[in-house]
Amino acid sequence: MAPSNTATKQRNATQSSRPMGSVLVRKAEGAIGTLARIFEDGHRVALKKGAVILEIAPSRAVNGDLLRRFETNPDGINEVAAGPKTRKPWAESFYEVAVSLEMKAGEVSRIAGVFLKQRSFISGGFLISNCRAPDALANLARLFEGVTGVVVRTQNFKERSVLGLLLADARIGRGSLQVTEVPSDRGEDYRNFLAGSIWLEMTNLPEPSDLLASSVLLAMQVRSIRRNALVQRRQGYYTASAARHLFRSGLNQAQIAERFDMPGKKIVDWTAGGSGKEAPAQVPDSRPNRAPARPATQNQVSFAKSLISEFGFLSGILPDDWEKDTRSASAFLTRATAAVNPRRNDIAALRLEARARDLLNEGNPAGAAELLKLSAETLGSRLETLDLRIKAMARDLGDALGTSVDPASILS
């Protein structure tokens, strides 16, 4: 599709203000590789007083040349790690991993990722160079603790099924993650690009084999593209793709259910109409043996209890074994915070209005009006729609949590 006149003007304005040979672009290109190597060595970065600083891992020394490259390129480092200082209220609860994969024989052989806070700041990263190693999946699950979403390059069916298989085998997310796909083609419509799209002018891009640097670039891209222009799906879509792929490859539904540690009925639903080995008359919900679970950390326990104390309706999705299994606790916290954080202020407002209604019913209209900072004339019309808005919030929370929420529980 040819770009519109507006898009062409925007592109020309961008290119004229930041030409291809601009110093900042070259500095940012160098900073991508520097940050990738810093993350690969186990170090992280943080934002302090508007500047990106290096956080050195306690047990690891910093390569001298790497430290010099970091310290002598503050402009490039800040541009890549922090990007534009544009606040994104809708992403305040986001903690994503932008991942790059290398596949061999239909499986992920290497994976790298960088952590993206609030769809804005790149804080750290990792590289697992052998996904077939005995401890690789456990390490990956540990790295993904607290993550709310995954960012990947636009994928075909096979790539989606491989990603879904990796997440399922590592017991990551359990269907709660949001996966965002970033197109490989820059496209022609510059209206989809936000401030911080300096990568559009880069000519010295990371080699595909440099997975960590590719992940840094991917994170820069996703934060500078309008979210409505990106493909976003729930993790279950990728798990279902993996199940269909395994079914076509010869595994029956019972074997897939066992591998994924998932109910057999769900696997049957996902693979219905596919071509594979016939399953037994009834697919059992057998679960594979797994390494003994580690108990939830004290921070996880305290955070979970504080969330349930504040939002009682979350108790309905709390796993029975959560205090005995850090993975269950992590999955609960990820799911819960992704649902309540964007709605926290709205819930507080509904509770305040409910308290005002109680005061009104108790014969204290002045107190109700004062509580809401409303005039007596507008108080009644405001409270007339309260029940409808509470029910709408219950439906919204139910959709986010994947369960039904009692409207009355929102007020407690």
Please name the amino acid found at residue 19: P
Backbone angles phi, psi at 198, to 5 degrees: -60, -25
* Pairwise pLDDT comparison (79 vs 193), residue with the higher score: 79
Give the pairing type, strands 121-128 and 107-117: antiparallel
Residue of 233, 297, 238, 244 lying closest to 269 (CA atoms): 244
If you compute the radius of gyration of the chain from its CA atoms, what whole number of angstroms results? 24
- Mark whether 230 and 305 lie in a shared domain: no
Query: First vs last Cα of the chain: how many Å apart?
Result: 52
As separate numbers, helices (DSSP H) first and strands (DSSP E) second, the chain gives 16, 8
- Mark whether 35 and 156 lie in a shared domain: yes
- Mark whether 207 and 319 lie in a shared domain: no
Q: Classify 86 as helix, strand or coil.
A: coil
Judge whether residue 65 has pLDDT over 50. Answer: yes
Please name the amino acid found at residue 5: N
Judge whether residue 17 has pLDDT over 50. Answer: no
What is the model's pLDDT at position 293? 62
Could you tell me if residue 366 is inside a domain? Answer: yes
Could you tell me if residue 150 is inside a domain? Answer: yes
Interatomic CA distance for residues 412 and 408, integer angstroms: 7
Residue of 71, 51, 75, 73 lying closest to 63 (CA atoms): 71
What is the model's pLDDT at position 13? 40
- Mark whether 71 and 218 lie in a shared domain: yes
What is the model's pLDDT at position 188? 58
What is the model's pLDDT at position 292? 58
What is the model's pLDDT at position 282? 41
**195, 218, 236 - which closes a domain:** 236
Q: Which residues pair with 124 in a beta bridge?
A: 115
Query: Residue 270 in contact with residue 241, Cβ under 8 Å?
Result: no
Backbone angles phi, psi at 292, to 5 degrees: -50, 135
- Mark whether 226 and 312 lie in a shared domain: no
Any idea which of 14-18, 55-59, 97-101, 217-221 has the lowest mean pLDDT? 14-18
| Domain assignment of residue 350, given as a range | 296-412
Confidence (pTM) = 0.63
Could you tell me if residue 348 is inside a domain? Answer: yes
Interatomic CA distance for residues 245 and 248, integer angstroms: 5
Query: Residue 368 in contact with residue 379, Cβ under 8 Å?
Result: yes
Query: Residue 239 in contact with residue 161, Cβ under 8 Å?
Result: no
Residue range 34-60: average pLDDT?
91
What is the model's pLDDT at position 302? 87
- Mark whether 303 and 389 lie in a shared domain: yes
Span 307-337, pLDDT tens digits: 888 998 888 777 777 788 777 777 788 778 8
- Mark whether 304 and 224 lie in a shared domain: no
Could you tell me if residue 269 is inside a domain? Answer: no
Judge whether residue 20 has pLDDT over 50. Answer: no
Could you tell me if residue 257 is inside a domain? Answer: no
- Mark whether 205 and 348 lie in a shared domain: no
Residue range 210-216: average pLDDT?
97
| Domain total in the chain | 2
Could you tell me if residue 291 is inside a domain? Answer: no
- Mark whether 232 and 139 lie in a shared domain: yes
**Residue pointed to by tokens 């949590």:** 401
Span 71-100, pLDDT tens digits: 999 999 999 999 887 778 888 889 999 999
What is the model's pLDDT at position 369? 87
Judge whether residue 164 has pLDDT over 90. Answer: yes
Q: What percent of the chain has pLDDT over 70?
A: 88
Q: What percent of the chain has pLDDT over 90?
A: 36
Q: Classify 103 as helix, strand or coil.
A: strand
* Pairwise pLDDT comparison (295 vs 161), residue with the higher score: 161
Query: Residue 253 in contact with residue 268, Cβ under 8 Å?
Result: yes
Query: Residue 148 in contact with residue 94, Cβ under 8 Å?
Result: yes
Span 247-304, pLDDT tens digits: 988 888 899 988 888 888 888 888 875 444 444 334 444 444 444 567 888 888 888 8
Any idea which of 194-198, 349-353, 368-372, 386-390 has the lowest mean pLDDT? 194-198
- Mark whether 212 and 312 lie in a shared domain: no
Could you tell me if residue 272 is inside a domain? Answer: no
- Mark whether 165 and 41 lie in a shared domain: yes
**221, 236, 251 - which closes a domain:** 236
CB atoms under 10 Å from CB of 310, counted, come to 12
- Mark whether 232 and 102 lie in a shared domain: yes
Question: In the 8-state DSSP scheme, what is residue 100?
Answer: E
What is the model's pLDDT at position 30? 95
- Cα distances from 412 to residues 99, 150, 311, 315, 375, in angstroms, run 39, 33, 7, 12, 27
Could you tell me if residue 178 is inside a domain? Answer: yes
Backbone angles phi, psi at 192, to 5 degrees: -85, -5
